[in-house]
A and B are shown apart, each in its own frame.
Chain A
Amino acid sequence: MRVLDPKSAAPQEPRKHRRALDLRLTGLLGVLVVLCVVGYATRPDSFLTEANISTMLRLAAAIGVVSVGMTFVIISGGIDLSVGSIVALSGVWMTTVATQSYGPVVMVLCALLVGLGCGLVNGVLISYGKIVPFIATLAMYASAKGLAERLSGRRTQVVTETGFTTFFRGDILGIPVLIWLLAAVFAVGWVLLNRTTFGRRTFAVGGNAEAARLAGIDVRRHTALVYGLAGLCCGIAALMVVARTTSGASTNGMFYELDAIAAVVIGGTLLSGGRGSLIGTLIGVLIFTVVGNIFTQNNLDTDIQNIAKGVIIVAAVLLQRTTARRRTHAT
């Protein structure tokens, strides 16, 4: 802990905002509940079964983990367009035959290190190289994807290492390992963001980087670490995708950047940084997952599903803005 409390550098975050945030989260949770009611009403026989809920959560797991990292990045005032490519690269790296023959532990470490490494490169380029996040991560998006394609020969690498698949596709205490992983990443992320100096500094950097610097925060190092964290999340997501599909491919993680940004934004995190919540992000991810599941459960067209996604994003953001405005007017 530094001498100066970084919190003092944060914009006046306090009570008023917190209440507005809680209200927004309640609204968002309401949307999720309504969707679940719709799901249950249309398919009472199968929607709320344990198996279906577990399927939905497992589907949400990888994108959920990526979104946790993305939330940190966006709160710190940045953006990460490279998450999908990093997922692809980490996945392909861990499944290339040489890695698989060293066993599951090496595979997992590989995915995590590749993810972390890519994230740190992003961070260093942005903070020390002074390249704007949009450009730096766009460059990473292109090069990580290219490297993943080169490494895999653009072919799907099937996992032959059964130790890896049996563990990550299995259950612990009746709950799939992937759901445990999601819960763990989310819990660690929540504590990190809301209960540690690291989290307070993230808010501070995103709120006003100059003020944060004056308050004694090493803004550059912190920014680099935030992108590193996002990359690490991509590494974890990559092993989840590999476990689910039993294969690594350069097409894994396609459009994750957009899905994650969408989830973060409807979760109430400001794209301009400084404010946001992980719970909102998680609800955002679940909303999209539930929508997808409802469509499939009722055998509806996928095109309309995409339209629905768009409508939900706009509606959620509009809803948040009106609730926020009403709060400001009321007080």
Chain B
Amino acid sequence: MPSLDRRRFLWGTTAVGTAALLAGCTSNESANSAPNAVAGGSGQNSQPGKQVTIGFSAPAADHGWMAAMTKNAKAQADEFSDVTFKATEGTNDVNQQIAQVETLINDKVDVLVVLPFDGKALTEVGRQAMDAGIPVINLDRVFDTPLAYRLWIGGDNYRMGVNAGEYIAAQLKAKNVSNPVIGEVAGIDSLPLTQERSQGFKDALAKAGFSVGPRVAAAFTSESGEQQTANLLQSAPRLDALWNHDDDQGIGVMAAIDSAGRKEFVMVGGAGSRNMMDLIKADSGVVKATVLYSPSMASSAIALARLLGQAKGIGDMAEHDIPASITTYSAVVTKENVDQYLDVGFDS
């Protein structure tokens, strides 16, 4: 698993790096050789264009982050007068999601945005859409093969772990703590995203000469977060830092910390909920930061789907076409920069 994570991570950075390089080297050339290049850097992308019907399918909005993904997608589509948005009812049943995507294909939508409940299980239907000539934007949980999507846009789970680990390591080094006890409240251990986050966290701490101490896995719900954290706090009489993978379960994590009356450590959240950002801003408790895994990526996916449907490129990039892969950045939100990020904070 770790090698795969790293590979994906490297691919992501390579793609971004290459794009930057191309932008630097070829800007003149591309302007000359491609007079028809539409959007690239023209700043005209917000102007209404050809009508585009975007089909959207996502898992059930059963927690804040997922709810925000669907909400953001819809809100972004409403921004454009030239977009018709067709969303299916969110479901956690892969079989049903496949049927929904098939319906959208039969409806002949222009572009599909699919956030699969399980990327592997939805790969085949993604291919089906691509074969039918409908470009697919694969949102977040990645399909098995690029044959099934035109563009992948998603977050960087490994980097989320890395940034959480590096932030914690820096805090502890600044306080000159030796042999710190660093706890971790993970999400669902069977999901690759949780494994990637944990691996990144572990690797970043190892770089600083630290390691993960007590670790529990919750289930992304506030109830499981509370239960697991209550147990974890009991097992660790002293903690120096704690990373919680998910701000939705973070409500429960905070409740457990409150009732245990603990405040000797720094806590870092994950995903970037409005709640956590408010706590970071107030700076009155253990929460000092959260690493983003922002549902704003759903808004971006819709904006890009529209451009794909209109055969435009991205402004400020020299490419004629939309890139094949975009990885959002897991910024660390702290008291210093929280105001800048409050607009992407989602309600858990």
Contacts and interface: CB of A to CB of B under 8 A. Distances in A.
B87 to A, nearest CB: 15
B221 interface: yes
B223 interface: yes
A302 B214 CA distance: 12
Contacts of B216: 296, 302
Contacts of B226: 244-245
Contact of A299 (B67, B225, B235, B260): B235
B231 A293 contact: yes
Given A149-B62, A249-B223, A292 B231 contact: yes
A250 B62 contact: yes
A302 B217 contact: yes
A246 B217 CA distance: 20
A241 B224 CA distance: 10
Nearest to B66: A154
Q: Using C-beta atoms within 8 Å of the partner chain, give the interface range for chain A.
A: 35 or more
Interface in B242-267: 248, 251-252, 254-256, 258-260
B189 interface: yes
A2 to B, nearest CB: 43
Contact of A245 (B223, B232, B233): B223
A297 B348 contact: no
B340 interface: no
Given A246-B255, A296-B214, A154 B63 contact: yes
A303 B223 contact: no
A247 B214 CA distance: 25
Contacts of A158: 251, 275, 348
Contacts of B27: none
Nearest to B60: A154
A301 B189 CA distance: 9
Contacts of A222: none
B284 to A, nearest CB: 15
A270 to B, nearest CB: 30
B214 A299 contact: yes
B214 A245 contact: no
Contacts of A249: 63, 221-223
B211 to A, nearest CB: 12
B46 to A, nearest CB: 31
Contact of B225 (A245, A253, A302): A245
A252 interface: yes
Contact of B234 (A51, A169, A253): A51
B221 A254 contact: yes
B61 interface: yes
Residue with the greatest number of chain A CB neighbours at <10 A, chosen from B63, B222, B233, B260? B222
Contacts of B256: 244
B64 interface: yes
Contacts of B209: none
Contact of B347 (A155, A169, A296): A155
B2 interface: no
A322 interface: no
A247 B63 contact: no
Contacts of A301: 189
B235 A297 contact: yes
Interface string A167-179: 0010000000000
Interface string B49-73: 0000000000011111001000000
Contact of A247 (B222, B231, B259): B222
5 contacts: A46-B234, A149-B62, A156-B221, A251-B63, A296-B216
Interface of A: 43, 45-46, 49, 51-52, 55, 58-59, 149, 153-156, 158, 169, 241, 244-247, 249-254, 292-293, 296-299, 301-303
Given A246-B254, A247-B222, A251-B222, 17 more contacts: A43-B235, A55-B234, A59-B227, A149-B62, A154-B60, A154-B67, A155-B64, A155-B67, A169-B258, A244-B223, A244-B226, A245-B225, A250-B62, A251-B63, A293-B234, A296-B228, A302-B216
